[in-house]
Structure 1
Amino acid sequence: MTSPPKVPAADQTLRVLSLLAASRGPLAASMIATRLGLPRSTVYHLLATMQEHGFVMHLPEERRYGLGIAAFELSSAYARQEPLARLGRPLLAGLVDRVGLSGHLAVPHGRDVLYLVEERAKGAPALVSDVDVRLPMQLTASGRAILAALPRAQVRALFPGREAFVNLHDAGDDGIDRYSKLRSVLDATSTRGFALERGSVTPGFSSVAVAVLDHRRWPVAAIAVTFRDGEVPDDRLAALAAEVRSATETLTVRIHGRR
């Protein structure tokens, strides 16, 4: 028989976070209470405390709760401790050798992506997407690939208003300054099967990216390649994305994720 937890509040908090992390979208407090067999009053107290510390985000219009930015930062902290970087680095090096373009591996970090690995192609210029650099998620191909794989409600929670959007310059091809524009870009990403950005990060450069999914099909990272505008014709983008997807699928398998 399993002994009761020595710290019930800590146990309950972790169970709530684990349930939210395993769900494809935000949940109502009543549903959380039912699934975990906890009193509703206890669940509301736990959620209020976690919301105060940023681990849970309340969506008042939907009366649901989802993971907050602090929870994403925990995930990013795990990634920064090297498992993804160590597993992804040789795959990225092989991808760069095959396509002759610079590549990088990035993970979500709040509303940003954090670059863990960069492999520069021979003779390629230095890029802004260097190791440990953070960039606004909606501007990068890596970030768009990650966002497109998230539930819509989670994306909306990350970008609740215009103040959540940051642009680096004149916004390139499709400057995103409100949720409707972001949703349009993410829907196109899902339809296309890979993310694409043109000049949003660095004028004159474009990138394609594909997300890496964990065992819940939750996007934990993305692999991207970057090239000068015109270096890859439009009719070759799908073939290039297929090479990127092959690398992401291998990394997905290595972290016991789902392709």
Structure 2
Amino acid sequence: MEGSSHRTLARGIAILETVAEAPDGSTISELAAITGNDKSTTSRLVSSLCDFGYLTRLPDRRVVLTGRVLRLTRGFQAQFDLQKVSRPVLTELRDRVGESVILTIREGNFSVSIDQIDPERNFRMVPHVGNTAPLDATAAGRAMLFALPAPEQQRILAAIQDEPVEHPEVRLTPRTLQAEADKARRRGFVWIQRSDDVERVASVVLDTLGAPLAAVSIYGPRYRMRDRIDELGRECKQVADAIGMLARGQRARDSRW
């Protein structure tokens, strides 16, 4: 009986997720085809979800979500703590690479650092928590910027072009934006070079819809990082992917997490 209840619950959740991804709603036939259930089972599950108030049928019989789903969204916003979810994974990353690890989020056209974990070494990064910067000016900001649709990237770039930055040589232009974004996609991480003696690599954390949720960065002195850029970039991407899975309620693929 328990196994049957589990399967029913899993099928119901699959239907909700499928409807949520369809801009114009779904028919019973479409839901059955996508979820792998027969039409009779799909129809019963949809009826139950309509009874609970999470789905409704339009006059053309297409099935759509209702406002009740917003209760789940409000609960998520109140309960979900990205910093708390990420910290154990970021701490392990710090221990493996021996450099500072920073978690950054996007606020409009800017990046904001919300957590930093430093190694016990003689040379450590100055505190970054609370720092803001235009999205194109840091590795973390670029990682999130490059995950956005191209028109949104161009809009943001135009909006921030006059924002002051500490290192103007890192600013992107409409001409360099696409080339740098393509380079980051091939690598799986962003490596941004500035005129100081610090190296930084970053990788984006994606949410359920593939939008940028945050970015993970590794910072350290050039003399320690310059020969490890590819290795550190791969580590960054693995951890960013793991945090994304944890944020989506999935178990990270890496057994360490």
Same fold (TM over 0.5): yes
Tell me if 1:84 matches 2:82. yes
In the alignment, which residue of structure 1 is the partner of 2:147?
Answer: 149
- What is the one-letter code of the residue matched to 2:143? A
CA distance in structure 1 between the aligned counterparts of 2:150 and 2:127, rounded to whole angstroms: 26
8 Å CA contact 1:144–1:189 kept in 2: the answer is no
Give the SS at the match of 1:231.
helix
Please list the CA deviations of residues 151-180 of structure 1 after superposition, one character each: whole Å capped at 9, or x if unmatched: 111111212267355431352xxx325222
Given the alignment, which residue of 232, 237, 240 partners 1:240? 232
1:185 to 174, 180, 184: 180
1:206 aligns with 2:199: yes
Task: Give the Cα separation in 1 of the matches to 2:218 and 2:124.
Answer: 13
Q: Which consecutive segments of 4 or more residues in structure 1 shift more than 3 A? A: 124-129, 161-166
TM-score by length of 1: 0.61
Distance 1:256 1:82, change over 3 A: closer
Residue 256 of structure 1 and its aligned partner are, at CA, apart by 0.9
Q: 1:124 and 1:112 mapped to 2: Cα distance?
A: 31
What residue is the counterpart of 2:161 in the other structure?
163
User: Residues 199 and 222 of structure 2 are in contact (CA less than 8 Å); yes or no, is this contact kept in structure 1?
Assistant: yes
The whole-number CA distance in structure 2 between the counterparts of 1:100 and 1:237 is: 13
Q: 1: distance between equivalents of 2:167 and 2:234? A: 30
Distance in 1 between residues matched to 2:80 and 2:125, nearest whole Å: 22
Provide the rounded CA distance (Å) in 2 between the counterparts of 1:254 and 1:137: 24
What fraction of aligned residue pairs are identical, expressed as a percent?
Answer: 26
Provide closer, same or farther for how the CA distance between residues 149 and 129 of structure 1 changes in structure 2, counting only shifts above 3 A. farther
Query: For the Cα contact (< 8 Å) 1:146–1:219, is it kept in 2?
Result: yes
- Cα distance in structure 2, aligned partners of 1:194 and 1:104: 14
Query: Normalized against structure 2, the TM-score is what?
Result: 0.62
Q: 1: distance between equivalents of 2:242 and 2:122?
A: 25
> Map of 1:1-259 to 2, 5 A cutoff?
35=24, 83-123=81-121, 125=123, 127=125, 130-160=128-158, 163-164=161-162, 166-171=164-169, 175-199=170-194, 203-234=196-227, 236-256=228-248
Answer yes or no: is the 8 Å Cα contact 1:108–1:221 preserved in 2.
Answer: yes
Question: Counterpart of 1:230 in structure 2: which amino acid?
Answer: Y
| Separation (CA, whole Å) in 2 of partners of 1:170 and 1:240 | 25
Q: Match of 1:248, as an amino acid?
A: A
**Does the C-alpha gap of structure 1 residues 176 and 198 become closer, same or farther in structure 2, counting only changes over 3 Å?**
same
Please tell me whether the aligned partners of residues 100 and 124 of structure 2 are also in contact (alpha carbons under 8 angstroms): no
Number of equivalent positions: 181
Q: Flag structure 2 segments of 5+ consecutive residues without an equivalent.
A: 1-20, 26-76, 253-257
Q: Which residue of 2 aligns with 1:56?
A: none
Structure 1 unpaired stretches of 5+: 1-21, 24-31, 37-77
Question: In angstroms, what is the RMSD of aligned CA positions?
Answer: 2.9
Worse-matched range after superposition: 176-185 or 186-195: 176-185
